[in-house]
């Protein structure tokens, strides 16, 4: 199918009343989630997953995608106005954005964030449309051994997402795999890791784990340390840029878009890494680096563009290979599986309306977000004044209702509560939950492809290194582990020599 025909198919899918409404809902909720500190896209998407069961797969994915990249937009509002990032990728935005607001340039800062985000999102979506089909075409050469090696690479690379101990990240991945393969064995029918609990016969429910580990634990943490919100500007004016401002942000926006588009594809990369990398790049090449941290518009434009580009290109490995590059993509992958769609390279050929509909919806969604963010600034400012202790009961209520409606089973609600406590304890012990979620999603796929590979080779494990693509992927996985371990080994060596 020709590229223009594929885009035409995407536009025909999106331009229905139903899908436009879902796109708007996703973008609006994403902005809201980004504006309100303490929510974030991961617990919100986990909470909304059960509500997508009665919805067409393409509509559900359009809404969830809009929520994700919409949260990148909304997070900049709180970062600029109250120096409190509503989303983790907006941490860098607060550095110069808030200083601009303190100097009376809040409108300019918000306009810069919106325009940079819109440009980056548009370009990143074009890159997905161009390169994702090529990657999927290559992935069609994969058999069971290649998929097993790809899963190993994805899991080893997910250790990059953890900012703390490498061993703790590996422990979380293994815990996620064990939870993912619990329940009745597909080949023998025998129960495993069910601890005699009948309700665990079909395995743990993904929504219960995601909502518990990310949603409830996040609520506990925020209630423990709810920060003060001091809004610098209550009435925002001048929501447009001068010619001089446009000239100053043009190059940083382009560089941030390029950097974010590349880093977004990498496992463990995404929006957060892209925004930090863009900020350091802009500061390094700036003529007056001393202005950074004091309200430099380039220090706002580059990172904002980078985090939105990174958020959108992170869809490429998820859609084409079935490998999530971050926790949000793991939730997206789970949404596909719940809808009965097998993620991987065949999605583009077997579900072209879903793939191209999602691509086109990103263009439409970015336009909606540009329209939403600037005129509704007054509403977002008022929402910033709502105390978190008022918000969390509503969040918990919707979470419990959502988890219960998946199987109409109270066991899932109890499981969510248990994993909420477990998630809170893990955060206190500096265990990051994202690798656990990736392990849970990829664990069953890893096991399935391992068994298929062993059946193909009649039990000969050399099949994984005898096939070139599989051997290359395993080598990359080994290199990833080595790269992650090098800083820890250097630190240990320095301690030994110091003694």
Cα angle 41, 208, 204 (rounded to 5 degrees) comes to: 130
Q: What is the pLDDT of residues 170-179, one digit of tens each?
A: 888 888 888 8
Q: What is the pLDDT of residues 379-433, one digit of tens each?
A: 766 666 666 667 677 777 777 776 776 677 788 888 888 888 888 888 888 887 7
CB neighbours of residue 189 within 10 Å: 7
Q: What is the pLDDT of residues 299-324, one digit of tens each?
A: 888 888 888 888 888 887 777 777 77
Residue 495 — pLDDT band, cuts 50, 70, 90?
A: very low
Tokens of 242: 């001068």
d(CA 280, CA 450): 42
Residue 239's pLDDT is 61
Q: What is the pLDDT of residues 331-365, one digit of tens each?
A: 787 778 777 777 777 777 778 888 888 888 888 88
d(CA 303, CA 353): 33
pLDDT exceeds cutoff 70 at 267: no
Percentage of the chain beyond pLDDT 70 is: 82
Q: How many CA atoms lie within 13 A of 344 on its CB side?
A: 17
pLDDT exceeds cutoff 60 at 499: no
Higher-confidence residue of 258 and 201: namely: 258
The residues facing 499 across adjacent strands are: none
Tokens of 456: 């193909």
Residue 378's pLDDT is 67
Contact 286, 313 (CB under 8 A): no
Give the burial class of 442: count Cβ atoms within 10 A of its Cβ; 0-12 exposed, 13-18 middle, 19 or more buried. Answer: buried
Percentage of the chain beyond pLDDT 90 is: 1
Residue 497's pLDDT is 43
């Amino acid at each position: 199918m020709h590229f223009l025909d594929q885009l035409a198919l995407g536009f025909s899918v999106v331009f229905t009343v139903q899908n436009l409404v879902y796109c708007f809902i996703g973008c609006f909720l994403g902005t809201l989630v980004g504006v309100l500190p303490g929510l974030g896209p991961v617990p919100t998407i986990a909470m909304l997953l059960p509500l997508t069961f009665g919805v067409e797969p393409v509509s559900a994915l359009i809404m969830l995608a809009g929520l994700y990249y919409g949260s990148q937009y909304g997070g900049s509002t709180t970062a600029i106005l109250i120096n409190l990032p509503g989303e983790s990728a907006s941490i860098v935005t607060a550095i110069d954005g808030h200083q601009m607001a303190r100097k009376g340039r809040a409108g300019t800062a918000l306009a810069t964030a919106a325009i940079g985000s819109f440009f980056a999102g548009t370009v990143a979506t074009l890159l997905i449309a161009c390169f994702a089909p090529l990657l999927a075409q290559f992935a069609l050469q994969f058999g069971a051994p290649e998929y097993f090696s790809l899963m190993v690479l994805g899991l080893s690379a997910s250790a990059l997402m953890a900012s703390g101990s490498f061993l703790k990240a590996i422990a979380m991945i293994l815990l996620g795999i064990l939870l993912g393969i619990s329940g009745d064995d597909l080949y023998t029918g025998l129960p495993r890791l069910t601890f005699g609990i009948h309700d665990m016969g079909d395995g743990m429910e993904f929504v219960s784990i995601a909502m518990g580990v990310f949603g409830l634990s996040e609520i506990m943490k925020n209630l423990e340390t709810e920060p003060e919100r001091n809004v610098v500007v209550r009435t925002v004016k001048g929501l447009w840029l001068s010619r001089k401002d446009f000239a100053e942000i043009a190059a940083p926006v382009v560089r941030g878009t390029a950097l974010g588009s590349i880093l977004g594809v990498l496992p463990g990369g995404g929006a957060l890494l892209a925004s930090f990398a863009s900020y350091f790049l802009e500061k390094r090449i700036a003529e007056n680096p001393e202005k950074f941290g004091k309200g430099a518009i380039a220090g706002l434009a580059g990172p904002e563009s980078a985090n939105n580009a990174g958020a959108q290109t992170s869809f490429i490995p998820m859609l084409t290979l079935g490998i999530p590059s971050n926790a949000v993509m793991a939730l997206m992958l789970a949404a596909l599986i719940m809808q009965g769609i097998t993620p991987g390279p065949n999605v583009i050929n077997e579900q072209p309306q879903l793939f191209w509909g999602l691509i086109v919806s990103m263009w439409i969604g970015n336009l909606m977000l540009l329209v939403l963010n600037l005129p509704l600034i007054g509403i977002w400012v008022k929402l910033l004044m709502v105390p978190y202790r008022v918000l969390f009961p509503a969040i918990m209520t919707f979470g419990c209702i959502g988890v219960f409606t998946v199987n109409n089973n109270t066991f899932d609600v109890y499981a969510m509560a248990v994993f909420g406590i477990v998630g809170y304890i893990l955060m206190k012990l500096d265990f990051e939950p994202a690798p656990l979620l990736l392990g849970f999603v990829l664990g069953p796929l890893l096991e399935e492809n391992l068994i298929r590979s062993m059946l193909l080779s009649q039990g000969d494990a050399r099949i994984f290194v005898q096939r070139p693509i599989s051997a290359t992927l395993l080598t990359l996985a080994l290199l990833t582990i080595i790269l992650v371990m090098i800083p820890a080994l250097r630190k240990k060596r320095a301690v030994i020599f110091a003694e």
